[in-house]
Structure 1
Amino acid sequence: MSIYRIAHLSDPHLPPPAGAFGWKDVFTKRLLSRIAWRKKRKVHRPEVLAALIADLKAAAPDHVVISGDLTNFASHTEIAAATAWLKSLGSERDFTVSPGNHDALAGAGGPERFAPWTPWLGDAGETVFPQVRLRGPAAIFNLCSAVPTAPHLATGRLGNDQLQRLDAALADPAYADRFRIVVLHHPPHKGAVSKRKALDDQEALRAVLAKHGADLILHGHAHEALVGSVPGPNGSAIPVLGVPSASAKPSGHSPARWHSIEIEDHQARIVVRGIEPGREGLAELGRYSLADLT
Structure 2
Amino acid sequence: MFRLAHFSDIHLGPLPAISYRELASKRITGYINWKRNRRLNLDHGVIDRITDDMLAADPDHIALTGDLVNLALDKEIERAALWLEDLGPADAVSVVPGNHDAYVPGALARACRAWKPYMTGDGGEASRVGFPYLRVRGQVAIIGVSSARATAPFMASGHFSASQAKRLAAILDATGRDGLFRVVMIHHPPVRGATHTAKRLYGIGRFQKLIRRHGAELVLHGHTHKPTVHRIAGSEGTSVPVVGVSAAGQAHGGAKPAAHYNLFDIDGGSGQWRIRFSRRGITDGNGTVGEVSGALLTDEAQAG
TM superposition score normalised by structure 2: 0.91
Asked if the contact 1:66/1:95 (under 8 Å) is kept, the reply is yes
Question: Cα distance, 1:114 vs. partner?
Answer: 1.1
Q: What is the match of residue 68 of structure 1?
A: 66
Residue aligned with 2:212, SS: helix
Residue aligned with 2:63, SS: strand
Q: Out of 151-160 and 270-279, give the one that drifted further.
A: 270-279
Give yes or no for the alignment of 1:22 onto 2:25. no
Question: Cα distance, 1:24 vs. partner?
Answer: 1.4
Q: What is the match of residue 294 of structure 2?
A: 287
Residue aligned with 2:54, SS: helix
Question: Cα distance, 1:236 vs. partner?
Answer: 2.1
Q: Deviations over 1:201-221 (max 9, x none)?
A: 111111111100100000000
Asked if the contact 1:16/1:71 (under 8 Å) is kept, the reply is no
Question: Cα distance, 1:280 vs. partner?
Answer: 4.2
Q: What is the match of residue 264 of structure 2?
A: 261
TM superposition score normalised by structure 1: 0.94
Identify unmatched segments of 5+ residues in structure 2.
Answer: none
Question: Cα distance, 1:286 vs. partner?
Answer: 2.2
Q: What is the match of residue 271 of structure 1?
A: 278
Q: What is the match of residue 226 of structure 1?
A: 228
Question: Cα distance, 1:252 vs. partner?
Answer: 2.5
**RMSD in angstroms over aligned alpha carbons?**
1.7
Asked if the contact 1:72/1:102 (under 8 Å) is kept, the reply is yes
- Alignment of structure 1 residues 182-221 onto 2, 5 Å: 182-221=184-223
Match of 2:42 among 27, 36, 44: 44
Q: Out of 231-240 and 277-286, give the one that drifted further.
A: 277-286
Residue aligned with 1:255, SS: coil
Identify unmatched segments of 5+ residues in structure 1.
Answer: none
Residue aligned with 2:52, SS: helix
Inter-partner Cα distance in structure 2 for 1:5 and 1:83: 24
Question: Cα distance, 1:164 vs. partner?
Answer: 1.1
Q: Deviations over 1:90-113 (max 9, x none)?
A: 211110011000000102276565
Asked if the contact 2:101/2:108 (under 8 Å) is kept, the reply is no
Question: Cα distance, 1:235 vs. partner?
Answer: 3.0
Question: Cα distance, 1:281 vs. partner?
Answer: 1.1
Inter-partner Cα distance in structure 2 for 1:105 and 1:263: 35
Inter-partner Cα distance in structure 1 for 2:238 and 2:205: 17
Asked if the contact 2:14/2:39 (under 8 Å) is kept, the reply is no
Asked if the contact 1:140/1:182 (under 8 Å) is kept, the reply is yes
Asked if the contact 1:109/1:147 (under 8 Å) is kept, the reply is no
Q: Deviations over 1:231-290 (max 9, x none)?
A: 112332111000000000122321001011101113211121111135641001222111
Inter-partner Cα distance in structure 2 for 1:175 and 1:89: 33
Question: Cα distance, 1:174 vs. partner?
Answer: 6.5
Asked if the contact 1:12/1:44 (under 8 Å) is kept, the reply is no
Give yes or no for the alignment of 1:4 onto 2:11. no
- Alignment of structure 1 residues 78-157 onto 2, 5 Å: 78-108=76-106, 111=109, 113-123=111-121, 124-125=125-126, 126-157=128-159
Q: Give the letter for the 1:191 counterpart.
A: G
